[in-house]
Chains A and B, each alone.
Chain A
């Protein structure tokens, strides 16, 4: 059982380049999300999806696009990379989450993609 798989593990981009960070899960999870984590910082939500065909913005969506054409995949696109996007990116999935209900499923994280923009 692979869980949540992120590729690549490392990436170096030049300012202005675009790229796609891949995230795939094999647990049939409805909820998927992207976080970025800067050195010594917490996890900030970029975009999330509650199911195929549905996406929404998190705290820091600017400069990123997402799509959810299948349940398994949730790619994150950087449109025009900037040094401020240098970070570690985590993809996470969950069986199903619903707003403000007591019992929610835990998030399962991928191993992360370490991105440097020069």
Chain B
């Protein structure tokens, strides 16, 4: 399957600060999906991006797909303690593989 990398691996922010995680691939991606996993929980689907340059918003979350469809980002504005968890990007090449994830901690 295609390999996707994510940075950073960990991010600690103060509540109210913004947060961004990046997903990068060396090859063009047909689509990108983002998932959130709360501590002790299972991954939950957030969104799918399919078009070059696509931007989608869900309340305080903004998702972007790069023009070359090789990278994607998830930006959270004014983080809250409920945003704590690990954010994974994933792609279906020959099978569905996930990036290593970014673990977000939010300090109250």
- Which residue numbers of A lie inside 8 Å of B, CB to CB? 33, 35, 40-43, 45, 48, 56, 58-59, 90, 92, 94, 97-104, 106-112
Contacts of A41 in B (CB 8 A): 100
Task: Contact check, A101 vs B30: say whether CB atoms are below 8 A apart.
Answer: yes
Task: Contact check, A48 vs B95: say whether CB atoms are below 8 A apart.
Answer: yes
Query: Bound state CA distance, A104 and B13, in angstroms?
Result: 33
Task: Contact check, A42 vs B93: say whether CB atoms are below 8 A apart.
Answer: no
Given contacts A43-B43, A110-B42, A111-B42, contact A104 B98 (CB under 8 A): no
Task: Contact check, B100 vs A99: say whether CB atoms are below 8 A apart.
Answer: no
10 residue pairs of the A-B complex, CB under 8 angstroms, read: A43-B88, A43-B101, A45-B1, A99-B92, A99-B95, A101-B30, A103-B50, A104-B31, A108-B45, A111-B41
Q: From residue A116, how far is it (CB to closest CB) to chain B in Å?
A: 16
Question: Can you list, as one digit per residue, whether each of B50-74 has a CB less than 8 Å from chain A (1) or not (0)?
Answer: 1100000000000000000000000
Given contacts A43-B98, A90-B43, contact A99 B48 (CB under 8 A): no
Q: From residue A32, how far is it (CB to closest CB) to chain B in Å?
A: 11
Task: Contact check, B100 vs A42: say whether CB atoms are below 8 A apart.
Answer: yes
Task: Contact check, B92 vs A45: say whether CB atoms are below 8 A apart.
Answer: no
| Interface contact tally, CB-CB below 8 A | 72
Task: Contact check, A97 vs B92: say whether CB atoms are below 8 A apart.
Answer: yes
Given contacts A59-B1, A100-B30, A102-B31, contact A109 B44 (CB under 8 A): yes
Query: Bound state CA distance, A111 and B43, in angstroms?
Result: 9
Contacts of B51 in A (CB 8 A): 102
Query: Bound state CA distance, A96 and B64, in angstroms?
Result: 24
Q: From residue A33, how far is it (CB to closest CB) to chain B in Å?
A: 7
A42: contacting residue among B41, B96, B98, CB under 8 A: B98
Given contacts A41-B100, A102-B30, A102-B50, contact A107 B95 (CB under 8 A): no
Task: Contact check, B30 vs A45: say whether CB atoms are below 8 A apart.
Answer: no
Q: From residue B94, how far is it (CB to closest CB) to chain A in Å?
A: 5
Query: Bound state CA distance, A107 and B89, in angstroms?
Result: 12
